């Protein structure tokens, strides 16, 4: 049995000088339109005009293109500009649903340079990809072929901090099989000393290199391998709903938390579970997994972070992380029966905000668009 799922295939490519110049112009226009729309939406709300939606933002884009100041927006493909408005709409949707913080302005130096193209803005023919406003196909290094009979439905081009160009093709793949049912369940505790600890007692470290680009590549590769293995081996996977967005505000832990890639791990685990017919249970973030004795259920009075091994009054000695993972598994399985302390998996997590007081006032200083 197979199901049709959306899969992304990422490749490196090497643009000509003309293609690179066109893409850099497009990146700049995408960033400009996003910031203009974000400012307009924020001003409309703070001035009591209500929330602007995608349709209103699209009308503003049309008006901006007709002005002398922003006439240069007509020089690039209109599709990436419309797509960035859709991305902004999605960002606001996540904010109002309390899954993310209020959208922030894009910075030329710090934000990811990318542009998204839908079917009307690229041509896919005989394994060659040509973007709008370009006469030649991209020189893509096809490190692996697309599945037979599959064509991209959208394309995203990006430039990373190391100066490398990438193209990601989103495809609807009907060939992904549902994995055979297994009788295995696993509880997963995510931490800083180890990427994760399983209820079986196994621990996985995050392997990284020294150069930042290599770190990102190795981290993603390691996470893909770990999540694929966990999904293949287990029918049910139980994790905690960690509030990463709030935790990284602790400046002493922010770098370690970000390096541990908790959010990326969860996203991979959830979409792969959806692909292959597995179940992910997400525990409430306030569940005291580290403090409870997994043998007798008695909570410890205190559990400072520096304590890694402890002994319960019942005489059971615990490794902190393994004990937490076992408690996570037990609570997740109990929740499947009574429905308490857990909720269905969702695609994104973030800061629990969203009321009107959280909307920031516009920065009066200069914003780098």
Instruction: Name the pTM for this structure.
Output: 0.62
Average pLDDT over residues 62-77: 96
Catalytic residue among 22, 173, 240, 270: 240
Per-residue pLDDT, 108: 85
Instruction: Indicate if 53 belongs to the active site.
Output: no
| Average pLDDT over the chain, rounded to an integer | 82
From 53, 189, 267, 358, active-site residue = 189
240 is catalytic: yes
| pLDDT value for 249 | 52
Domains and CATH numbers, the chain: 2-175 (no CATH), 185-344 (3.30.420)
Q: What's the pLDDT score for residue 254?
A: 46
Q: For the stretch 165-186, what's the b/e string if a residue is b when 16 or more beta carbons lie within 10 angstroms of its beta carbon?
A: bebbbebebeebeebeeeeebb
Least reliable range by pLDDT among 48-62, 174-188, 266-280: 174-188
CB 238, CB 188: distance < 8 Å: yes
Burial 54-80 (b: 16+ CB within 10 A, else e): bebbbebbeebeeeeebeebeebbbbb
Q: Which of 4, 321, 355, 358 is catalytic?
A: 321
Mean pLDDT, range 250-268, rounded to an integer? 64
Residue, of 147 and 343, whose pLDDT is higher: 147
């Amino acid at each position: 049995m197979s199901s049709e799922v959306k899969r992304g295939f990422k490749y490196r490519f090497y643009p000509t000088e003309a293609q690179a110049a066109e893409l850099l112009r497009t990146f700049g226009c995408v960033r400009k339109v996003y910031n203009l729309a974000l400012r307009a939406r924020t001003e409309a709300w703070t001035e009591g005009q209500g929330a602007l939606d995608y349709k209103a933002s699209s009308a503003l884009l049309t008006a901006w293109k007709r002005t002398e100041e922003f006439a240069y927006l007509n020089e690039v493909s209109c599709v990436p500009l419309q797509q960035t408005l859709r991305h902004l709409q999605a960002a606001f949707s996540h904010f109002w649903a309390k899954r993310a913080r209020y959208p922030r302005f894009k910075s030329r130096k710090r934000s990811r340079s990318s542009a998204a193209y839908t079917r009307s803005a690229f041509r896919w023919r005989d394994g060659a990809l040509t973007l709008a406003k370009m006469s030649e196909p991209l020189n893509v290094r096809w490190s692996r072929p697309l599945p037979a009979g599959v064509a991209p439905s959208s394309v995203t081009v990006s430039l990373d901090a190391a100066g490398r160009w990438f193209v990601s093709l989103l495809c609807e793949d009907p060939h992904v099989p549902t994995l055979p049912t297994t009788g295995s369940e696993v509880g997963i505790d995510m931490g800083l000393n180890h990427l994760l600890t399983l209820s079986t007692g196994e621990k996985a470290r995050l392997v990284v290199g020294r150069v930042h680009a290599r770190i990102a590549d190795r981290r993603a590769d390691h996470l893909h391998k770990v999540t694929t293995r966990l999904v293949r081996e287990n029918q049910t996977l139980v994790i905690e709903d960690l509030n990463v967005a709030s935790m990284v505000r602790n400046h002493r832990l922010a770098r370690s938390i970000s390096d541990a890639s908790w959010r990326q791990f969860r996203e991979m685990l959830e979409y792969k579970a959806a692909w292959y017919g597995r179940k992910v249970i997400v525990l409430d973030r306030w569940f005291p997994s580290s403090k409870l004795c997994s043998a007798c259920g008695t909570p410890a009075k205190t559990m400072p972070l520096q304590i890694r091994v402890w002994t319960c009054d019942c005489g059971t000695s615990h490794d902190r992380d393994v004990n937490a993972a076992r408690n996570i598994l037990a609570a997740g399985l109990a929740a499947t029966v009574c429905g308490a302390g857990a909720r269905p998996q969702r695609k994104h997590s973030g800061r629990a905000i969203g009321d009107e007081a959280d909307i920031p006032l516009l920065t009066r200083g200069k914003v780098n668009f």
